[in-house]
Amino acid sequence: MQVLKTRKGATLVLLLAVAFGILFGTYRSTMAEKKRVEAVFQEEMVELFQLCADAGYNLCSIASRYLDQDEKFDEHLTNGGMIAVMRQYCDLAYTSGFDVMYDTPNLYFQSNNGLTYNMPLLIEKLETKDLSDADAQHVRSLMQELNSWNYVIANNEAYHSAAAQFNEKTLGGLGKLLGIKPVAELEKELRI
């Protein structure tokens, strides 16, 4: 401990303590800000993603009644496999929970992206079947419903401005050095 008794040693210890304090304080304040952004996401966006998932569940119910589960959907999936994939995307919108270890807004986005991509494919397959008038009308309305919710998601100013501010601060400061990931800016990815 002879180093601590010299002026250089004491200065070094002091500088290390200050650097640790700055990094620790930056990490804590950045994580607190990220939690605030995630709270805005929870309040403003989760229900919208779940409404998109509800449209997907409804489509899966109709598809289950009309499509032979073992028939080929495409070169990779059967109809039953496609319906299962759709249900997994829907389930993801209901099982995503907030945890600092996971990038939950991105999970919701992945869920919705899967639905947005796959619903038209499943609808196209259903249009080749002899649907009842009520089911045919319902199938047509489901894609419109999904597109409407996607528009609302893409234009939710409260979340998108909070996410943009957080990402600008995180990527421009010590947050990136500390391994703090930016939050999803869905506005850019979902614009219709």
Of all residues in the chain, the percent with pLDDT exceeding 90 is 38
Question: Residue range 89-111: average pLDDT?
Answer: 72
pLDDT band at 188 (very low <50, low <70, confident <90, very high): low
Residue 108 pLDDT: 85
pLDDT by residue (tens digit) across 130-146?
999 999 999 999 999 99
Residue 101 pLDDT: 41
Residue 83 pLDDT: 94
Whether pLDDT at 7 is above 70: yes
CA dist 57 and 78 (Å) reads: 18
Whether pLDDT at 100 is above 50: no
Question: Residue range 148-176: average pLDDT?
Answer: 85
Question: Residue range 180-192: average pLDDT?
Answer: 62
Whether pLDDT at 97 is above 70: no
pLDDT by residue (tens digit) across 28-85?
888 888 888 888 888 888 899 999 999 999 999 999 999 998 998 888 889 999 999 9
Cα separations (Å) of 41 from 73, 137, 153, 187? 35, 33, 10, 12
Q: Taking the model in full, what pTM does it have?
A: 0.76
Q: What is the mean pLDDT of the chain?
A: 85
Assign residue 129 a region: left if phi > 0, alpha if psi is -120 to 50, beta otherwise?
Answer: beta
CA dist 48 and 152 (Å) reads: 8
Q: List the alpha helices (DSSP H) in 127-156.
A: 133-154
Residue 3 pLDDT: 62
Residue 185 pLDDT: 72
